[in-house]
Amino acid sequence: MNAAHKHKANILKALGHPIRFCIVEGLLAGEQNVGTMTHCTSVPQPTVSQHLNVLKAAGILKAERIGNEMHYSVCSAEARKIAAALK
């Protein structure tokens, strides 16, 4: 059980929550702002924000502010591969 294991497990753990996995799939399909995710996941906006933070902390997402909105995107190749593997 080395550092590589821990890194991979961290990514899996971050993705291992229904709301977060849903968010990532949505982002890979093109959605980008928090309002849309809130609808799509049907949880309150603050909850979405918290899960976005978890994903960001795990290095899976990056955020960019564009005017009033935040645009999130998946920046982890590993996360992309995992999502693809589960298609």
Partner DNA sequence: ATAGTATATATTAAAATATGAATATACGGA
Partner DNA sequence: TCCGTATATTCATATTTTAATATATACTAT
Residue (6 or 65) nearer to its own copies, CB: 6
Residue (2 or 68) nearer to DNA, CB: 68
- The contact set with DNA (CB under 7 A) reads 13, 17, 19, 33-35, 43-54, 63, 65, 67-70
Residue (39 or 64) nearer to its own copies, CB: 39
How far apart are alpha carbons 15 and 42 in whole angstroms? 18
70's CB contacts (< 8 A; 6+ apart) are: 33, 34, 63, 64
CB of 5 to its own copies, least distance (A): 5
How far apart are alpha carbons 68 and 65 in whole angstroms? 7
How far apart are alpha carbons 53 and 58 in whole angstroms? 8
Among 32, 36, 38, 41, binds its own copies (CB under 8 A): 41
